[in-house]
Amino acid sequence: MGKQGVNVGIIGFGTVGTGTARILLENAGVIAKRAGFPVVLKKIADRDITRDRGIPVPEGILTAHADDVLNDPDIDIVVELVGGIHPAKDFILQAIANGKHVVTANKALLATEGADIFAAADQKGVEVCFEAAVAGGIPIIKVLREGLIANNMVSIFGIINGTSNYILTKMTAEKAEFADVLKEAQALGYAEADPTFDIEGIDTAHKLTILASLAYGIPLSFDAVYKEGITKITSEDIAFATELGYKIKLLAITRAVDGQVELRVHPTMVPNDYLISKIDGVFNAIYVEGDAVGATLYYGRGAGDMPTGSAVVADIVDTARTILHGGKRSSGISGSGSAYTIRQMGDVESMYYFRFSALDQPGTLSKISGILGKYNISIASVIQKGRSASSSVPLVVLTHTAKEKDVANAIAEIDAMPVVADKTLVLRVEGKE
C-alpha cells in the first residue's frame, strides 16, 4: 500500500508561517476531506521558538534548527517562509538536493535568483510552488498557469503592493502627504521590513517578474523591469488627478506589443470608470486579458498571515497530490524559448500627465508647447491654477499617446529652461484617447 498522506515542515515561524500553521491545524478536517488524504504538520523551524504566536502548537514539532526540517526523511514538503535571499535560497536548494518538494512565498528570491532554483528542482524532479509569492490570497499563479492556459496573453495590469495602495488611497481620501501616510502604514505593519521595497516599486517589480514569466514564457527578468515608485507623488497631483477624473495607482504592467513584452512598474493615472481604479486600501487586484477569454479581474487580500497562508496551503495540497498520485507539474517558469523579447522602456507608448513648475510669465506655455511639439508630443489639455508674479505655479498638461524616449528628451529640455523652477512630475495615463 502506498503513502496515505504527506508530511510538511515549515521553516520560518513569522507572520505567514503562523498563518500557514494555523490553517493546517485548524482546517485539517476540511482539507483532508477535500483532498482525500491528510496533510500533517510535522515540524516548524525558527530561530525563536519561545515567542507565543497565539496558536496551540502540538508538542514536539518546534525546532530551532532548519536542518531538522531539511534532513528529516519523513518530511515530503519543505515550506520556506523565511523571506530574503540568504539563507532562504540555501534552505530551498538543500531541500531540493534532499529530494523534497518546496513551497515558498519568497517573491524577492524567485524574481532575482529563481533561475537557479527552478533548474535545481527540474534536475531533481521535484516541484517548487509559489502561489503565495504574488498577491497573497488571490490564486493568480493558478489562474495564469492553469485557468487561462488556453490563451495568448494580451496584458496584465496589477495593483500588487498593498502598502503603496494603502498610501495612495489615504492620500486621496484625506488629502494627506506621502510621508505622513507612510508612517501610518509602517505603524500598522503593512510595509515590508525595508519600506523602500514597497514605495519604490521593487516589491511590485518582484511580483511582476513572476507574472510576466508565466504569462509570456520569458525568463525571470527582474533587472529589465522599469521601476518607479510613489515617493514623488504629492497631494497636489492627487487633487489634479481627482479633478480630471482619475485615480493614481501604482500599477504593474506587462503587455504584448508587436512581438515584444513591456515590463513596467510606475504610478499611473487610471480613469475613474475602470474597475481597477476602485481598488482601495491594502487590497490587491489583477486585471488579466487573454486572446480567448477576454478581460478578467481578480481581487482580494495581497498580504497578511491568513490570506497568504491560504495560498501556501493550497500549494501544499497541490504538491501533495503530485506526491501521492504522480504527474509532476511544470513550474511554468521557463529559461528560454519565448516567442517574445522585452521591449525597451524608451519604446513604450503611453499618454502622459506633466505637472510643470513654471513661472507665470507671458510666453511660458508657448515655450513648453514648442518643445513638446518638437518631440512629437501632442497636447490633449492644459490646466493652470493660481497666479504668482514671482514664484512658480503648477501647469498641468495631458498628452495624447507619445513615445517614452521622446518624453524623456522633451522633459530634460523643458526642465533646463530658466522659466521652469523645479523638476517636472511625469505620470503615465491609461484610458482611451
Question: Rounded distance, CA 96 to CA 108, Å?
Answer: 19
CB of 199 to ligand HSE, least distance (A): 10
Which of 118, 105, 157 is closest to 263 using CA atoms? 157
CB of 265 to ligand HSE, least distance (A): 13
Tell me the three cell numbers of residue 132.
503565495
DSSP state of 276: G
Query: CB-wise, 104 or 364, nearer to ligand HSE?
Result: 104
CB of 379 to ligand HSE, least distance (A): 36
CB of 192 to ligand HSE, least distance (A): 4
Question: Rounded distance, CA 60 to CA 13, Å?
Answer: 15
- With a CB cutoff of 8 Å and minimum separation 6, the contacts of 92 are 78, 80, 102, 104, 106, 109, 117, 128
Which of 35, 49, 9 is closest to 320 using CA atoms? 35
Query: CB-wise, 40 or 144, nearer to ligand HSE?
Result: 144
CB of 94 to ligand HSE, least distance (A): 24
Query: CB-wise, 139 or 162, nearer to ligand HSE?
Result: 162
CB of 253 to ligand HSE, least distance (A): 17
Strands 6-11 and 226-227: unpaired
- Where do the H-state alpha helices sit in 364-403? 364-374
Query: CB-wise, 162 or 229, nearer to ligand HSE?
Result: 162
Which of 66, 121, 64 is closest to 88 using CA atoms? 66
Query: CB-wise, 130 or 190, nearer to ligand HSE?
Result: 190
The count of other CB atoms within 10 Å of the CB of residue 342 is 18
CB of 113 to ligand HSE, least distance (A): 17
Question: Rounded distance, CA 140 to CA 146, Å?
Answer: 10
Query: CB-wise, 220 or 359, nearer to ligand HSE?
Result: 220
Question: Rounded distance, CA 82 to CA 53, Å?
Answer: 16
DSSP per position, 41-66? EEEEE-S--SS--SS-PPTT-EES-H
CB of 258 to ligand HSE, least distance (A): 32
Active site residue 207: yes
Q: Which of 43, 89, 100, 207 is catalytic?
A: 207
Residue 242 has, within 13 A of its CA and on its CB side, a CA count of 13
Question: Rounded distance, CA 312 to CA 107, Å?
Answer: 13
Query: CB-wise, 303 or 345, nearer to ligand HSE?
Result: 303
Which of 16, 34, 3 is closest to 317 using CA atoms? 34
Q: Label residue 409 exposed, middle or buried (CB < 10 Å: 0-12, 13-18, 19+).
A: middle
Question: Rounded distance, CA 93 to CA 72, Å?
Answer: 15
**Residue ranges of E strands in 138-223:** 153-159
Query: CB-wise, 190 or 356, nearer to ligand HSE?
Result: 190
Angle at 314 between CA 312 and CA 318, to 5 degrees: 120
Residues forming the site for ligand HSE (CB under 6 A): 136, 161-163, 190, 192, 198, 203, 302-303
Q: Which residues are catalytic?
A: 207
